[in-house]
Structure 1
Amino acid sequence: MRDVGADQNGRRRYVALGDSFTEGVGDWNSLLPNGVRGWADRVAEKLAKAQPGWEYANLAVRSKRLRHIIDEQLEPALAMEPSLVTLYAGGNDLLDFGTDMDALMDDYELLVARLAGTGATLVLFTGFDVKVSAVLEPFKKRNTLYNERVRQLAASYDAVLVDYWCFDAFHDRRMWAADRLHMSKAGHKYLAAQVLDHLGVPHKFTPKDWEPPAQMSLREWERRQRRWVNDWVLPLFGRKLRGVTLGDSLSPRWPEPVKVPRKGGLKKLMQQRQDGPP
């Protein structure tokens, strides 16, 4: 267990950096900023429940590459003087053609070093081997290299490592959203539980007790494949050809630290904002 309590100034402040993984894509909620919730919101709420006074900022935006996270999120995060930081970055770079892995991981280490230098508890993540399509199998070697380096850096910088690669629960397709690249609500809840367990924070998240997934007929499998290609794959390639991403028009969900209500969590905070002053 780790002490993730107050810093030397008595402040408890959690700052999350990254891309869609940390923004919460796949865990849709129209009541919250950017229409998502995600594992990081859940971690912030459980921190506040265990120790009142926690503040939370989430700078993650979907589709961001490592260079964007360094350029757009690092300095704001440092200025917030966090006592807890979570970072997942580089996953989108792994799927880009022409990515120089040595250069990518050197930049990743510079980012880790800056964050570790704050004295905050730092949480890093490996990447999962998502079984989306045989088309992506050539990228598996990159993922393996990425994970090896993340593990090394976590040890070198005394960071908490959440080894996402090893979570067998994510072999169940129900842990994934319809696009097959982002976690579903169940996946985000499971990951929140893992992060909290690594930090020694109490929670009541329990894994889904599912029956084994039903076997699909060939016709059903083909129907699902066509729908996935039409709904997700073709639009993705269309955006790549146009040089745009889903995150281009979005801002961070929680760009400034907010005090998380001990009861009601971030949904209560949003309701208070909508109601305005009494």
Structure 2
Amino acid sequence: MSDAGMRYVAIGDSFTEGVGDDLPDGSSRGWADLVASGLASATGETVHYANLAVRGRLIEPIATTQLDTALAMTPPPTLLSFNGGGNDMMRAGIDLDRLVRLTERVVQRCADAGVRLVLLSGADPSARLPFGHMIHRRGTELTVAVAELAARHDLVFVDMFNDQEIRGPGYWSADRLHLGGDGHRRVASRVLAALGYPVTAHAVAPSPNGRRGVLAEARYYREHVLPWLNRRIRGRSSGDDRAGKHPAWVPVDATVGLTPPRSPDTSPPGPAG
């Protein structure tokens, strides 16, 4: 591969992996894939793209292992997106200052390597989640800190946490934790616009957000909340034994889009989180 051209690598958790934006073959697409395609379309050139994000990851392995792998790629990336902390928000004893320090590590490493960095805050899922008030409070505090960090270093910061539009139920998947296809499309449009491309923010018609029946709530807890609690009790994560979906550079053509070869997924099935 030539060193010329844009090389975009995404690191993060399920938000960046694309969980919730499911394709017919069972794979996940997501906003980062859409950004890679959008960059290729906007520039009229092939963009090389990698995605090292893994569902369930806490911020530390994203800001260390994933970042180190991304910066060691050959040729090196020219653009990197980072989001993390969503899974930390749902754990006891969260240390906000530590999350910010880890984010600062990403900022410094990218600056030292001469890689353009885009910081994102994840969309706010708290309105329809158990313990949502706690998640909202923690997410608000982390978003404020990351916004201040981005401002100090003159970085692109895409604040999806305070995006009121994406909080609507039409943007979310059935588990209420991960974005659905329209949610990922909205994030992609916001990222492309923040990078300077004339993209209108994706939006959908408002959907009713009425009261959910007892049976629907019972099914939700059985299918989504209880499996998550079971993994926490066992010290497991939905991302255990998984690797990033695009660990090497994948060419994204300006007209064809993202059509990477896919190797068989040997990781165990199970809900994301």
Q: Does 1:58 find its partner at 2:35?
A: no
Q: Does 1:26 find its partner at 2:11?
A: no
**Cα displacement string for residues 215-268 of structure 1 (whole angstroms, at most 9, x for unaligned residues):** 64x5x532221111011000000011111111112111110111112222123x
Are the counterparts in 2 of residues 46 and 201 from structure 1 also a CA contact under 8 Å?
A: no
Unpaired runs of 5+ residues, structure 2, are 265-273
Percent identity (aligned)? 38
Superposed, which structure 2 residues align to 1:109-258 within 5 Å?
Answer: 109-130=104-125, 131-133=127-129, 135-203=131-199, 206-208=202-204, 210=205, 212-214=206-208, 216=210, 220-258=212-250
Equivalence for 1:270? 261
Q: C-alpha displacement at 1:203, in angstroms? A: 4.8
Q: Does 1:73 find its partner at 2:66?
A: yes
Counterpart pick for 1:91 among 86, 89, 94: 86
Q: C-alpha displacement at 1:202, in angstroms? A: 4.4
Which has a greater percent of helix?
1
Higher gyration radius (CA): 1
Q: TM-score, normalised by structure 2?
A: 0.87
Are the counterparts in 1 of residues 124 and 160 from structure 2 also a CA contact under 8 Å?
A: no
> Take 1:72 and 1:163, find their aligned partners in 2: how far apart are those partners?
24
> Take 2:192 and 2:247, find their aligned partners in 1: how far apart are those partners?
22
Q: C-alpha displacement at 1:56, in angstroms? A: 0.4
Equivalence for 1:38? 30
Q: TM-score, normalised by structure 1?
A: 0.86
Are the counterparts in 2 of residues 30 and 36 from structure 1 also a CA contact under 8 Å?
A: no
Change (3 A) 1:100 1:79: same
What is the root-mean-square deviation of aligned Cα atoms in Å?
2.3
Equivalence for 1:6? none
Unpaired runs of 5+ residues, structure 1, are 1-8
Q: C-alpha displacement at 1:83, in angstroms? A: 1.2
> 35-44 or 244-253: which moved more?
244-253
> 85-94 or 131-140: which moved more?
131-140
| SS of 1:151 mapped into structure 2 | helix
**Cα displacement string for residues 40-99 of structure 1 (whole angstroms, at most 9, x for unaligned residues):** 001101111222131000000000011111332111111132111110011111111012
> Take 1:117 and 1:191, find their aligned partners in 2: how far apart are those partners?
27
| SS of 1:103 mapped into structure 2 | helix
Are the counterparts in 2 of residues 46 and 203 from structure 1 also a CA contact under 8 Å?
A: no
Q: C-alpha displacement at 1:174, in angstroms? A: 1.1
